[in-house]
Structure 1
């Protein structure tokens, strides 16, 4: 369904989703309108699901990044998933196989916020937490 030009457009959008269609067209040798049509088609078929903004969380006060593995103590996964979806501290959440049931990436303002989050997790299961020291990529 996608050709090399589509993949090049996607690469450019991943690098800068605010790039003008005309500028993308110059790189891939298409008009801005042709680029727009290709992007619209990729949105319609679900290849492009949306656009996002990457924030520097530290500048916003989120100084602690932690990875939390949750070990469920019940089969009520729906309640945990609702808690995770409604919690602003949760940046990413995945149900996993292997050691643990879920892995989370959370960002919080303080050690107290981290403790509050972890205390809340105890309603659903036990956890293991790893604190990020430095982001590499």
Structure 2
């Protein structure tokens, strides 16, 4: 990995749909050289895949929340089953160290649905809730 590879990664993180010719121009390479570098980064699993950024508000999910999940016992299976069943609201479920067991990132269409989710979650875990005000 050199500075050019890092610049390629920065450009692809900003716009993964950029053409190899445009990418090459931005990092001072030919399109073919940029393409070869990208292929090498993919082959070495530095680039694991490409994704899109979705505007959750436009999809009707205006409430963005983070929850620190604390489970008092060692059996986390019921919590995981609950999270799978609530998949439409779950963005990420990170296992963490520190204050909690998991950091749960969620999206909800309304505060009422969030409240309903939290009431159900209480059967499996305690939590600390943080609502995203602005990004």
TM bucket, shorter chain: 0.7 to 0.9
Corresponding residue SS for 2:68 = strand
In 2: Cα distance, 1:82 partner to 1:12 partner: 38
Q: Report the Cα offset of residue 116 of structure 1.
A: 2.6
In 2: Cα distance, 1:60 partner to 1:51 partner: 21
Corresponding residue SS for 1:88 = helix
Tell me the TM-score normalised to structure 1 length.
0.86
Match of 2:93 in 1: 93
Corresponding residue SS for 2:57 = helix
Q: What is the number of residues matched between the two proteins?
A: 134
1:128 aligns with 2:128: yes
Corresponding residue SS for 1:66 = strand
- Classify 1:109/1:45 alpha carbon distance in 2 versus 1 (closer, same or farther; 3 Å): same
Tell me the TM-score normalised to structure 2 length.
0.87
Gaps of 5+ in 2: none
Gaps of 5+ in 1: none
Match of 1:113 in 2: 113
Corresponding residue SS for 1:60 = coil
Q: CA RMSD in A?
A: 1.8
Decide whether the 8 Å contact of 1:74 with 1:125 is kept in 2.
no
**CA deviations over 1:60-80 (Å, ceiling 9, x no partner):** 111111111111032123443
Match of 2:33 in 1: 34
